[in-house]
Amino acid sequence: EEVVKAVVNVGYSPTFVGEENREKIVEAHLMGYGGGDFYGEEMRLMLCGFQRGEVKFGSFDKLIAAINQDIEDAKAALDTPEMAPL
């Protein structure tokens, strides 16, 4: 099995007014994933930390900037010795 580090959002996508999800969804950004399309494939996620709560951003650009910061923060956290066994 391939293990890929990821940043995951579990929530309602509140930034997109009128497009919010009625039920919580799970969105995963696979960091460094170089494989192909995996639609229809089984995927398991192991959540091993918490970065921040869900935020309604004032613009799409602010959302993207926050996601990029989340990715950098996650890379740093997941590269610590405590996370190595995972």
58 close to 13: Cβ distance less than 8 angstroms: no
Q: What is the CA radius of gyration of the chain?
A: 14
- Which residue has 């996370």 as its token pair? 83
20 is catalytic: no
Given 1, 19, 27, 72, the catalytic residue: 27
Residue 83 and residue 40 in contact, taking contact as beta carbons nearer than 8 Å: no
Q: Catalytic residue numbers? A: 27
